[in-house]
Amino acid sequence: MKTLQSLAPSTFLFLVLHATSAKSIRPELKLAPPLNPLGAKMEGGVGLQEIESYSRFFDFTDKDKDGKHSKVEYIDNGNYLNPQSRAGIFNASDNDRDGFVSRAEYILNRIITDEAKKIVQAMDANKDGKVDRTEFINQSMPDKKLAAQVFIDLDTDRNGILHIPEYLKV
Ligand SMILES: [Ca+2]
Ligand SMILES: [Ca+2]
Ligand SMILES: [Ca+2]
């Protein structure tokens, strides 16, 4: 009985510490833009004009006018960058993995990609097209310790530089 009594306060303290640390981490994680595409869409203030121009680009590539891009239409007959980049963009856009990119999928990917580009450019302090560890920790979030942890998670090949898909570097 005596042990239970002395144990209880420390268990309580542990729970309180756990809860407070979880609370302080959560809002900052929300700030990490790539994890929240919908939030990025809202913040970026994508205008109707931009959506209309994405939609026109979509129509231009949709040669058979069936409302979706096939791999032939987008990758084989496209002219943006190179076939390898186009394949990467196509696969990243095809959210439901049906082998086609619908208008909605296309527009959503354009919005996310443009947002990501802005984020990368904002973090790339020395403008060399790469985000290294120091840049990420200084620019990404107020909690430097958390930023360092997130960087380690994102830097999957451990070369100290974040991998940014080719098509975001333009
Ligand atoms: Ca089509
Ligand atoms: Ca699709
Ligand atoms: Ca840089």
Among all bound ligands, the one having the nearest atom to the CA of 99 is: 2
Could you identify the residue written with the tokens 């981490």?
25
Give the pLDDT score at 153: 84
CB 73 within 8 A of CB 64: yes
**Opening angle at CA 92, ends 86 and 95, nearest 5:** 130
Per-residue confidence (pLDDT) for residue 164, from 0 to 100: 66
Considering the domain architecture, whether residues 119 and 131 belong to the same structural domain is answered as no
| Whole-angstrom distance, CA of residue 85 vs CA of residue 165 | 9
Which ligand is located closest to the Cα atom of residue 90? 2
pLDDT of residue 47: 80
Are residues 119 and 49 part of one domain? Answer: yes
Domain membership flag for residue 10: no
CA-CA-CA-CA torsion sign (67, 36, 114, 111): positive
Residues lining ligand 2 (ion), CB within 5 A? 94, 96, 98, 100
Q: Which ligand places an atom closest to the C-alpha of 138?
A: 3
* pLDDT, one tens digit for every residue, the chain (170 residues): 444 443 343 343 343 333 333 333 333 333 444 444 444 444 456 688 889 999 999 999 999 999 999 999 999 999 888 999 899 999 999 999 999 999 999 999 998 888 888 888 888 899 888 889 999 999 888 899 999 998 888 888 888 988 666 556 54
- Domain span at 43: 36-123
Query: Based on the domain organization, do 103 and 146 belong to the same domain?
Result: no
Nearest-ligand number for the alpha carbon of 74: 1
Ligand 1 centroid, distance to 72 Cα (angstroms): 9
Q: State the distance from the centre of ligand 1 to the C-alpha of 116, rounded, in angstroms.
A: 27
Is the dihedral angle over the CA atoms 32, 34, 38, 42 positive or is it negative?
A: positive
**What's the confidence (pLDDT) of residue 121?**
84
Verify that 119 and 129 share a domain, yes or no: no
pLDDT value at position 112? 86
Write down the pTM of the prediction.
Answer: 0.58
Ligand 1 center–CA 98 separation, angstroms: 13
* Ligand located closest to 98 CA: 2
Asked if residue 53 and residue 86 are part of one domain, the reply reads: yes
Å from CA of 72 to ligand 3 middle: 36
63 CA from centroid of ligand 3 (Å): 39
